[in-house]
Amino acid sequence: MKFTPELEIPGGCIKPLHYDDLDGLFELYQHPEIPGQRPLADKEQLNRMIDYSVQMAATQRGMMWAIETDGQIKGMVSGFDWQASSLRITMRVDGLPALSQSERGNALKAAMDFLTDKYHIRNFAYQWIEGQSEEIKSVLEELGFKKAARFRRAWRTGNTDFADVEQYHWLSAQSKPVARRLGDDDQLGQNIDSSPSGEVK
Amino acid sequence: MNWNFETEHFHIRLPVSDTDGEALYELLRHDSAVAHIPRLPMSVSDQPEDELRRIAMRFESREAAYWLIERKSDNRVIARIGIQHINWMMLNTQLQWELSDDCDLVALQEVLPVITEYLMKDLHIQRLEMRLCQNVQRPDGNTHEGYLTELGFEYEGTLPAQLEFSGQDVDLAVYSLVNEETAH
């Protein structure tokens, strides 16, 4: 069963997390972009995260891709807090310093296009945390995100320290899917390898 | 840890599953109590029993806590005020209230500070927010967001299309109160 596809972006792709990429992912986790997050100490923990990434996608809780350009893992793009029945999800990109802003935007767009087409997600949120690069906000605005709110002291960065969070949204103009009877198609599990007749490729 | 409080005119207490069903139904069967959430009012008298069981379980796991606001003069429950989605790591939570027509700003000004003080001083919550539909009128001509502003909450923005209700996408405004003692 495959739930997370590999998608092309200029110069590379976004692809499912894989055990072969453990070293690249570990390097990414040595440079956390999230304020207050510490570098990961134990590489073994990433094995569990890769397991989770499959389970999350299978149960429509989230989806995670590695961003690979120029043959190097430069970041991750993820969807989490997936509200499948409300057609909502929150996106996030984590990148190494080598990840350019255009690569960040391309990866985010590829993931969002897939989630829009495959799962009919209409409402994408992105949380920018005070202390992160201001350039991330420019990338979001170029993709059409609009700032909806600034949450005061919503992100804890230390024992007694907190940062504000700005929440951006992008709403799809696509019409909502029409509900059908259960069993009318085989897409309930959203296995991307399955055909409309239910056969697995 | 005592989660029950008292003010001059009100008991602020956790619900009792065996005995509060009728009072909860009387409160939540009116659209005016839940329209700002938005949620459908209760319509079947068995619903409070389920709700009380659910909130007892959510309280036991410290995922949520709901207080009934009982007026001392006639023992009537005039409101339910709760916190949910408690994030113990980030130290924030979402406030929700359901108000009868008898619960006005004056009553909230007596009751809510007791709850917020408990949350911020005893539970160390740093941020309390409410997400709600705007412009839902109260009997006194005020709005829920008007009450929140009077109670010291600040408007932070409006999140688009957060849920679908009655065939419409619903935007939710966010108002918050932060722990000023630790904010600076």
A171 lies within 8 A of chain B by CB: yes
Note whether B159 contacts A148, CB cutoff 8 Å: yes
Contacts 24+ apart (CB under 8 A), A173-177: A174/A116, A174/A120, A174/A122, A176/A87, A176/A120, A176/A122, A177/A120
Q: What is the DSSP letter of B83?
A: E
Q: Please name the member of B89, B90, B182 whose beta carbon is closest to the beta carbon of A160.
A: B182
CA distance A9 to B97: 47
pTM (2 d.p.): 0.91
Q: What is the mean pLDDT of residues A29-48?
A: 94
In the predicted structure, residue A198 carries a pLDDT above the cut 70:
no
Note whether B127 contacts A154, CB cutoff 8 Å: yes
Note whether A153 contacts B158, CB cutoff 8 Å: no
In the predicted structure, residue A47 carries a pLDDT above the cut 90:
yes
C-beta separation of A48 from A19 below 8 A: no
A26 lies within 8 A of chain B by CB: no
Which among A126, A153, A171 is the top mutation candidate for probing chain B, defined by the most B β-carbons within 10 Å of its own β-carbon? A153
A168 → chain B, closest CA residue: B159
Chain B residues within 8 A of A125 when measuring between CB atoms: 159
Q: Please name the member of A152, A156, A160 whose beta carbon is closest to the beta carbon of B156.
A: A152
Amino acid at B135: N
Residue B111 DSSP SS3: helix
Residue B91 Cα, gap to closest chain A Cα (Å): 8
Which among B130, B159, B180 is the top mutation candidate for probing chain A, defined by the most A β-carbons within 10 Å of its own β-carbon? B159
Residue B92 DSSP SS3: strand
Q: What is the mean pLDDT of chain A?
A: 91
- Residue B133, number of CB atoms within 10 A of its CB: 19
B153 → chain A, closest CA residue: A152
Q: Please name the member of A154, A156, A167 whose beta carbon is closest to the beta carbon of B89.
A: A156
Q: What ipTM does this complex have? A: 0.95
Note whether B126 contacts A86, CB cutoff 8 Å: no
Q: Which of A68-77, A111-120, A179-188, B63-72 has the lowest mean pLDDT?
A: A179-188
Chain B residues within 8 A of A169 when measuring between CB atoms: 159-161
Residue B86 DSSP SS3: strand
CA B45 to each of CA A8, B14, B21, B31, B51: distance values in angstroms, whole numbers, following the listed order: 55, 20, 8, 15, 11
What percentage of chain B has pLDDT greater than the value 70?
99
Chain B residues within 8 A of A148 when measuring between CB atoms: 157-160
Give residue-wise pLDDT tens across range A157-170.
Answer: 999 999 999 999 99
Give residue-wise pLDDT tens across range B77-132.
Answer: 999 999 999 999 999 999 999 999 999 999 999 999 999 999 999 999 999 999 99
Q: What is the mean pLDDT of residues A98-126?
A: 96
